[in-house]
């Protein structure tokens, strides 16, 4: 291992000794090679994958959300991939309630499970849990939604940055639903959304090994551009056009689709929309990296270095 690999590999969520087994958590920015690494580890350890990617919940976003291929899905069973219709929604709290029992069942049967994704809130939900959020305020929510319809997302982001600078490193700033929810909580409670947690992790009956994809920035940006070009070649424009009537749904407030919808409206040429989508994806990847780097518990390993990943996991299991 290199000096750049952060070495606090034994990360326990909660204070109790692990009793079920080991949860391998694979995280990284978009296009960093998480899926292939997760499939390789799950196959090696004869286990299954639990996805923590908020975009991959939706079956209709097959190309734009880079769902695992049919071969990968056949190679290793996946949970929470393509399990929702675009009209459905998933919160971090709902995901915690759904995913933790699946992980516990897998650990009980296999001893090891793999959690993979780039959605920090959903990984936090599994590893630490969330305190219940304050009750919503319908009046505030309605006002914010109306403001969004009239003026777009930027004024809401500016207000959220004033009330809760910390949440700006974690939230998907291209997702109006999440921005409005965070701002609603700030305004209704008088406290930052990010301060609603007590900071105490829920006890989890497993040990955790965290692996982050170590990809140089220039290489990552090149991978992002190449992957989006491949998405276009594989039919992303047609996929987005087929979803145009659903554009107002939360599932479609995401990079790639929003730029293509604007192209369909005549706001941009297709090359302009593609260039914007690539830039917005790079911006999103930067925020994902910021979230990962806030913790020293990640082991940074190149996405193709399967040997280092396997050795790390085996050394922790043997302890």
Q: Which residue has the higher pLDDT, 241 or 20?
A: 241
Q: How confident is the prediction for the chain on average, in pLDDT?
A: 89
Exposed/middle/buried for residue 24 (C-beta within 10 Å: 0-12, 13-18, 19+): buried
Spatial separation of the C-alpha atoms in residues 241 and 230, rounded to whole Å: 17
pLDDT digits (tens, 9 = 90+) for 86-128: 999 888 889 999 999 999 999 999 999 999 998 888 999 999 9
What span, in angstroms and rounded, lies between the C-alpha atoms of 184 and 281?
A: 26
Q: Counting beta carbons within 10 angstroms of the beta carbon of residue 137, is it exposed (0 to 12), middle (13 to 18) or buried (19 or more)?
A: middle
Predicted pLDDT of residue 99: 97
Reply yes or no on whether the pLDDT at 16 is more than 70: no
Compute the distance between CA of residue 35 and CA of residue 21 in angstroms, rounded to an integer.
22
Which neighbouring-strand residues pair with 173? none
Say whether 115 sits in a helix, a strand or coil.
strand
15 compared with 80, residue with greater pLDDT: 80
Closest CA to 95 of 72, 59, 63, 119: 119
- pLDDT band with cut points at 50, 70 and 90 for residue 132: low
What's the sign of the alpha-carbon dihedral 231, 235, 237, 240?
negative
Domains of the chain as residue ranges with CATH: 11-131+199-317 (3.40.50.300), 138-195 (1.10.20.140)
pTM: 0.81
**8 Å CB contact between 133 and 68:** no
* Digit-coded pLDDT (tens) for 284-295: 999 899 989 989
User: Mapping DSSP to helix (H, G, I), strand (E, B) and coil, where does residue 114 land?
Assistant: strand
Q: Write the CA distances from 59 to 88, 102, 108, 120, 148, integer angstroms.
A: 11, 20, 28, 21, 27
């Amino acid at each position: 291992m290199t000096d750049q690999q952060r070495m606090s590999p034994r990360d326990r969520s909660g204070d109790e000794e692990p009793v079920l087994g080991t949860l391998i958590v694979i995280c990284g920015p978009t296009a960093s090679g998480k899926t292939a690494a997760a499939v390789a580890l799950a196959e090696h350890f004869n286990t299954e994958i639990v996805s923590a990617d908020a975009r991959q919940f939706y079956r209709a976003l097959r190309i734009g959300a880079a769902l695992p291929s049919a071969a990968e899905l056949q190679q290793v069973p996946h949970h929470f991939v393509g399990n929702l219709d675009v009209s459905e929604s998933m919160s971090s709290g709902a995901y915690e309630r759904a995913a933790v029992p699946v992980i516990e069942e897998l650990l009980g049967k296999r001893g090891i499970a793999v959690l993979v994704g780039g959605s920090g809130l959903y990984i936090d939900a599994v590893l630490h849990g969330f305190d219940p959020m304050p009750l919503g305020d319908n009046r505030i929510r309605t006002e914010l939604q109306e403001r969004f319809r009239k003026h777009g997302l930027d004024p809401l982001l500016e207000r959220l940055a004033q009330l809760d600078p910390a949440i700006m490193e974690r939230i998907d700033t291209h997702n109006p639903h999440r921005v409005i929810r965070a701002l609603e909580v700030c305004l209704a409670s008088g406290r930052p959304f990010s301060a609603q947690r007590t900071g105490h992790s829920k006890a989890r009956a497993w040990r955790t090994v965290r692996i982050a994809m170590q990809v140089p920035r220039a290489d990552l940006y090149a991978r992002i551009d190449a992957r989006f070009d491949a998405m276009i070649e594989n039919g992303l424009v047609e996929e987005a056009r087929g979803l145009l009537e659903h554009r107002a749904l939360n599932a479609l407030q995401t990079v790639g689709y929003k730029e293509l919808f604007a192209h369909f409206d005549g706001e941009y040429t297709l090359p302009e929309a593609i260039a914007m989508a690539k830039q917005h994806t790079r911006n999103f990847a930067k925020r994902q990296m910021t979230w990962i780097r806030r913790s020293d518990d990640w082991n940074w390993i190149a996405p193709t270095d399967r040997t280092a990943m396997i050795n790390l996991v085996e050394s922790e299991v043997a302890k």
